[in-house]
Amino acid sequence: MKTIAKITLVLLAAGFTSAAQQTIMYTQYAFNKAGLNPAASGTEINQEIFYAIGVNRQWIGFANAPKQNFVNFSYTIKPPRSYRYWQNAGVYVENDDSGLLSYDNFYGSYTFHLLLRKTMVASFGVYAGMRSFSRSLSGGFDPSDPAVAKNKTTIYTLPDIIPGFRLSDKKFFMDVSIRQLTVYKMQDFKGRRIGSPSRLKPSIYFDYGRKISLSDYLLMMPSFAVNLPVIGPPLVDANVMFFYSNTFGAGISLRNLSSASAIVQVRFYKSLSLGVAYSYPLGALRQTAPNSLEVMLGIIPLGMNTKVAGKHSIAKCPALSY
């Protein structure tokens, strides 16, 4: 009886997760800011090359638990004489293995950044690419099932267009992007699909955060992020990070009152840092699959790359670094 109860709990949680995570949500969303909004790519004009990789392992130890991976690379194009605007172009690749199904996303990105006044920047970006949907090799499908035998193992859909907007300055950031506008079915142009007809719900991603100097060496960055499907429950993250002397960061995060996370980020080279988030369920799921881990490696994340301006700081010339 206990085993049946545990399996039921996990299935219920998995159902909620699949509904809310048709757009992947990361605990360290400020680290992988360009992964959730193309307009956030290349926001630092003096950072010529940006790169980041990451893995997310949910419910470690449970069979067919969700797994996510991403790789992000982009290049900033500065104008020869004017810093009123600049551009960024890159690629973003993402994989989401949710047990029964696996998703692969391949995008090219373009972002245009416009300096509105002093340090305030408006950014407009777009991802354009394709998505593939596959039956997971670890999904446990029965090949003798007629529904399995009559459907494709992998299908490809395109074009997948993701527009985004970002507004930021030295004290705050705000992101908005929309996903699953042009690819809303797990079905290719010939009508081939995997399993029964399925629809992907368009979703709006929004985040907002502030950067608050507490001293000459300490910065606090509270923020929240919302993934809101057109139909379905939202996924909400509330996050607060503290950064010390641009070398170390630590914080906590809460997701939908269902899980809590501890985050540690360390800068161990001039332009390289490591971020780790450990998540623990607050509900009954902790009895079956209590541990989730997210690891990211890349360019110094938002917050850690912010110059702290405490009341004793010496005034410096302004720099376009967001």
Domains belonging to the chain, first-starting first, are 2-298 (2.40.160)
More confident residue, 46 or 93: 93
Q: Give me the helices (H) in the chain, please.
A: 2-20, 33-36, 146-149
Residues with Cβ within 8 Å of residue 178, at least 6 apart in sequence: 162, 163, 164, 202, 203, 204, 205
In this prediction, residue 105 has a pLDDT band, given cuts at 50, 70 and 90, of very high
Q: Determine if the peptide bond prior to 301 is cis (ω within 30°).
A: no
pLDDT tens column, 4-32:
344 333 333 434 344 434 578 899 999 99
Burial profile 28-43: b = 16 or more Cβ within 10 angstroms, e = fewer? bbbbbbbbbbbbbbbb
Residue 126 above 90 pLDDT?
A: yes
What is the pLDDT averaged over residues 109-136?
92
Give the DSSP letter of residue 227: E
Residue 124 above 50 pLDDT?
A: yes
Burial class for 68, CB neighbours closer than 10 Å (0-12, 13-18, 19+)? buried
d(C-alpha 129, C-alpha 21), whole Å: 19
Residue in this structure with the two tokens 């690629």, named with its chain if needed: 91
Q: Using alpha carbons only, give the angle 241, 247, 252 rounded to the nearest 5 degrees.
A: 20
Residue in this structure with the two tokens 């670094």, named with its chain if needed: 321
Looking at residue 138, its pLDDT comes to 52
Looking at residue 19, its pLDDT comes to 42
Q: What is the identity of the amino acid at 75?
A: Y
What is the pLDDT averaged over residues 49-58?
94
Average per-residue pLDDT for the chain: 83
Looking at residue 120, its pLDDT comes to 94
pLDDT tens column, 152-185:
678 888 899 999 999 999 999 999 999 988 887 7
Q: How many residues does the chain have?
A: 322
Q: Which of 59-73, 85-99, 299-313 has the highest mean pLDDT?
A: 85-99
The answer to whether 245 and 216 are in contact (CB under 8 A) is: no
The tokens for 134 are 């596959």
In this prediction, residue 310 has a pLDDT band, given cuts at 50, 70 and 90, of low
Looking at residue 191, its pLDDT comes to 73
* Residues above pLDDT 90, as percent of the chain: 53
In this prediction, residue 314 has a pLDDT band, given cuts at 50, 70 and 90, of very low
Residue 210 above 90 pLDDT?
A: yes
What is the pLDDT averaged over residues 251-280?
93
d(C-alpha 111, C-alpha 285), whole Å: 40
The answer to whether 17 and 97 are in contact (CB under 8 A) is: no
d(C-alpha 68, C-alpha 17), whole Å: 13
The answer to whether 134 and 153 are in contact (CB under 8 A) is: yes
Residue 319 above 50 pLDDT?
A: no
List the single range of 41-55, 92-106, 134-148 with lowest mean pLDDT: 134-148
d(C-alpha 62, C-alpha 155), whole Å: 27
Burial class for 19, CB neighbours closer than 10 Å (0-12, 13-18, 19+)? middle
DSSP string covering 64-108, please?
T--EEEEEEEEEEE--SS--SEEEEEEEEEEEEE-SSEEEEEEEE
